[in-house]
Amino acid sequence: MNLIFHEQSLLLVKAANGDYIFPDIEQVSNIVVTLSLIEVAGVKLLASLPSRDLIINRPELELVNMRRALNLVPANLVDKIIYAQQIIYYQQQNSFCSVCGNKTLLSADGKWLNCYNCKRDIYPRISPAMIVAVVRDDKLLMAQANHFAPDVWSILAGFSEVGESLEETVAREVMEEVGIKIKNICYWGSQYWPFPNSLMIGFTAKYAGGEIVLDRNEMRAAGFYRKDELPGRPSTNLSIASRMIDAFIDGKII
């Protein structure tokens, strides 16, 4: 499997039957800049496409947004693709040492970056973020962020801030985004999610009080909905948000 990325997109080949497949070496040999040739979890080539213009005259090649691409590739490859994309992102974001400014180099095993001047190991950044399914009676809190497509709804999520616990993040984000109080915050599960480099930590919670008041800088709409009246879904069906919504529909989150 050969993976070539451009920013938050994955390079794929659209087959005659409409399916998407991965390009072979011959199709991309003249257009990619290779960052790593190591084999990572079965991925033989990790590469970066420096410009979309390189495929303008290559109609068989298509750069597919990562969120959509994860719905098009086999489910058993999703974790490998996410990992590979993050290795590329990590290398691109850490080309130079943040302390001395020297160019970084790959370690001997070809995995992590080092600054040979500072003698520092530079590891990928992982950003903890909460996501929460808030239930009121038999209804689930669903919302639309301003950047969502019109048919996309999800449960609330947000990044942790310095000095707060994950439970405090959950309560703060819900209050900030929709103005309600919650209780009985319980851990549900987690997922690594490369948008941009999040460790999504899922919680369930119960409605405790207040009326929905939207933060208009972030949210377009929000409300409580029964399982048979949900207004929309997340854009990617493999996300923890989608799994938690399915768990609510199946009666496993109450």
pLDDT digits (tens, 9 = 90+) for 224-246: 999 999 999 998 888 999 999 99
pLDDT digits (tens, 9 = 90+) for 146-161: 999 999 999 999 999 9
- Asked if residues 7 and 65 have their Cβ atoms less than 8 Å apart, the reply is no
Which pLDDT score is estimated for 48? 82
Percent of the chain with pLDDT over 70: 94
Nearest to 145 by CA among 65, 242, 226, 232: 232
Residue 67, classed as helix, strand or coil, is helix
Rounded average pLDDT over 39-57: 77
Which pLDDT score is estimated for 195? 86
Nearest to 14 by CA among 60, 52, 55: 60
DSSP 8-state secondary structure symbol assigned to residue 28: H
pLDDT digits (tens, 9 = 90+) for 55-78: 888 888 999 999 899 999 988 889
Distant-in-sequence, close-in-space partners of 253: CB < 8 Å, separation ≥ 6: 133, 135, 140, 188, 204, 244, 247
Which pLDDT score is estimated for 35? 63
Which pLDDT score is estimated for 118? 92
Q: What structural domains and CATH numbers belong to the chain? A: 2-93 (no CATH), 127-249 (3.90.79.10)
Helix or strand (DSSP H, E) at 176: helix 166-178
Which pLDDT score is estimated for 45? 67
Mean pLDDT rounded to a whole number for the chain: 91
Nearest to 89 by CA among 54, 48, 34: 48
